[in-house]
Structure 1
Amino acid sequence: MRNSFILIFLFLLGASACKDERSDIGDQYFKQGQYKEAVAAYTEYLKLEPTHIKSLYNRGRAYEELGQHEKALADFHKIIKEDPLNVNAYLSVTSDFYYRQQDYENTVFYADKTLKLNENNPVAHTLKGKAYQKLGKLNEAMAAYNAAISVDKEYADAYLSRALLRIHLKQTSRACTDLTMAKSLGASNAAEIINKYCK
């Protein structure tokens, strides 16, 4: 009897390890930029564990890299259904789907949902600002960028986005200050914009 128990335990342990390996294989493919292979590995793993949040999220990210945004969105929504407090899933829905699709109302909606879960998320504040700016709600956009910077003084995209809004508002001096900060924090196109507006 004891030997039977040990054999069952070892079998379950081995089966569990095989499942984990399939997820790890997907992670390795993803890191190497082999997104089709990553999707296949995650899909195989999800046949065994259909609600495994990490694999769903990573498969969604791999779908995004392949330009299969509807499939990515389906994975992110499944995560939200299984784990309604998952900030990363809300952010992915916000930025990688609705903002990219130029659906700015839904971008604001999902950014707000993200911020209800984590009010100190600079990415969500910045995406909300960008969406408001596209909608022509410039005061709301400025408030969102200011909120992003107040929670993370080293978030380059918030400075860059606020600078572009200030350029639009003809606040060139303040825009150049933001651009200098964005450049110092590594924003890749800040130098080009500085050359155009701050010389």
Structure 2
Amino acid sequence: MNKVGVIGWPVTHSISPVMHNAAFSALGLNDWSYELAPVPPDIVRQSLRILRDEGGFIGVNVTVPLKEAVMPFVLPDERARAVGAVNTIDFRSNVGTNTDVAGFIDDLTSLHVPLRDKTVVVLGAGGAARAAVYGLAREGSRVLVVNRTLEKANVMLADLAISAGIFDVNTCTLDEAVEQSPSLIVNTTPVGMWPNVDESPWINGVAFP
């Protein structure tokens, strides 16, 4: 059996197994399975080893809040190094890559969302935010980053400047972001995730673009 899955914390709400196992079935890949693998942030290294050596996993997807945390324990490819985050690990080679950028930009493109010269607000400064900022900046968007901890946002932007040559991205407060009348808001924070699905990181009463 070829076993793959998704790691994160929390991860029990994820519907990834439903989607992937349905795809495996539709493709006749009956010797493949996709499972949830909860991994606390404080035992990432040990958990990766156990999944690979004892759990029988040949690879995993990585979700919040582990996309940056797994970086020291894999061999990141060029895209992962540029973004500073990993969302896919192949245990057979221990290579970590990042498909978030392509998936995110491809979705926006397929929906005909204009990006070049448009103001886009990215909420958050974690691994998913890194991919969003990287992709949007390369598409020519004017990107503003809003994060509860300004220092973390500045660290992210400094990292992206070094690793990817991305310089024209600024941080701001949520109120300042609203004043810029963005054409797109990208929420990369856990706010609004299960079980608090009615919560929003945006300002109450302020219309979305």
- TM-score (normalised: structure 2): 0.28
Structure showing greater Rg: 1
Larger helix share, 1 or 2: 1
TM-score between the two structures when normalised by the length of structure 1: 0.29
Give the strand-richer structure, 1 or 2.
2
